[in-house]
Amino acid sequence: MTRYYTRACNFYYGKISKNLVKDKKSLPLNGNKEISFDQIELISRNSKKKIKINKLLNLPKILKKKVTQDLKYITSKKKNFANLNFNKSPNIMGILNLTPDSFSDGGKFNTKTKGIKQAFKMFESGASIIDVGGESTKPGSKGINSKLEWNRINKILRVICKKIPISLDTRKSDIMQKGIKLGVKIINDVSGLNYDPKTINILNKYKIPFVLQHSQGTPENMQNNPVYKNVLLDIYDFFDKKIHFLRSIGIKHNNIIIDPGIGFGKNLKHNMNLICNISIFHSLGFPILVGISRKKFIKDLSGDNDTKNRTGGTVSSVIYLMMQGVQILRVHEVNEILQGIKVFKNLIKN
């Protein structure tokens, strides 16, 4: 039997969106009238078809039931957690790499003084939460042991967890548990909970919110010719299957964020397909996080190979993803990104 997927599309933003929702000509995304849509794209592995929301009654009975259920997830209001406000769009997650070898800022903030200063700077600039990591997961990087990872982040976490909301970027269950005890608000595991089998037990025990990210392979080998049958639908199916598994083992809360993992086992074509069709993941019913800051696809598209000089490409990507209703954006330059978002929002008010 053919499986169909529902992607919200043809979005409106700001004042125009509010008026269309009021006139019942568009549907609000996640209950937020400031961003709405008036079409869906019905996708299978063999076909695509765009349909206006006022024509959905003409669908066959089985398809209509499927789309109606998906629309319920797409339009339902999300509950806030971990200082993330899903009644606005988007939330900014600031990146704090406490590593000597991360791809664009390795060694820049990996001392106690510099790390603490940068965390507060990003939070005061408007980040909703700061994502702290002590292990590089850039393409080609090799894993490190828990002792080294914890030594890199321990002293800084002890200071900042008491004062600002922190997400912990780690693949290891023992690091997760130590971080949770210090007060981190979210666990962000780039492996999709596949690296350490004990992570599931930690998440279940503490009932903590977490990011479920897709990646193919490990950082060491993930860019060695990644292959998908259909990158968009393969990753959707990964999330769907994983969520069902998590429910089956007792993780019942909805404080889960999904991240398609741009650059984690994807080439340029895969990344572009995901970014351009990112709104398909709204039908899973969870907030979406995307990390696009300074990513390689910006170099591939612009021809500029300076990883520290990709702010322009990051800003344009952020605006595009915001217009698709992505709720959380993980970035390095918090002040510059928020400046771009504020200017854009004010321009479309007129």
342 Cβ partners below 8 Å, 6+ apart? none
- Cβ-in-10-Å burial (0-12, 13-18, 19+) of 226 comes to middle
Beta-ladder partners of 51: 40
Query: Would you please indicate which residues are annotated as catalytic (active-site) residues?
Result: 295, 330
- Cβ-in-10-Å burial (0-12, 13-18, 19+) of 249 comes to exposed
Q: Are 315 and 337 in contact (CB under 8 A)?
A: yes
Q: Count other C-beta atoms under 10 Å from residue 79's C-beta.
A: 11
CA distances in angstroms from 148 to 9, 166, 175, listed in the order given? 45, 20, 11
Q: Are 257 and 211 in contact (CB under 8 A)?
A: yes
